[in-house]
Amino acid sequence: MNLTPIFKLLSDETRLRVILLLSKEELCVCEICGVLDEPQPKISKVLSKLRDLDLVSGHRKDKFVFYKLEATNGLLNSTLTYIHENIRDYPELVLDQDRLADKTDYLDRCSLNLLKHL
């Protein structure tokens, strides 16, 4: 992958935030939605784009699909390392990292929402 696709990905705030979360740990859509306070269709679209570029992969655990970042792109890895090392310069990204600690709350909420629709 050349420079342009990587920087196009990172130029979108939501994609950047999702990539940064997935660079920390594996997450399901519900957890990402909760941490970022974004709607599920928007996050699913971002994940689809990242899957198309082979930057994330997903696997099913029970009724959830968990996604992880594929750490195969050197430029992306270097850029993410730089951002993580300087994350205090980006308040919204710090908030995302802080909210990541409560990820299970969002998974539980998602489970309850699924049950309400049955």
pLDDT recorded at residue 105: 81
Q: Quick count: other Cβ atoms within 10 Å of Cβ 85?
A: 9
pLDDT recorded at residue 83: 93
Tell me how far CA of residue 71 lies from CA of 29, 32, 38, 60, 91, in angstroms. 19, 19, 25, 20, 25
pLDDT recorded at residue 99: 92
User: What architecture does CATH give domain 3-113?
Assistant: Orthogonal Bundle (1.10)
> pTM of the prediction?
0.85
The yes-or-no verdict on residue 25 having pLDDT over 90 is yes
Q: Give the C-alpha separation, 115 to 59, whole Å.
A: 22
Q: Quick count: other Cβ atoms within 10 Å of Cβ 87?
A: 14
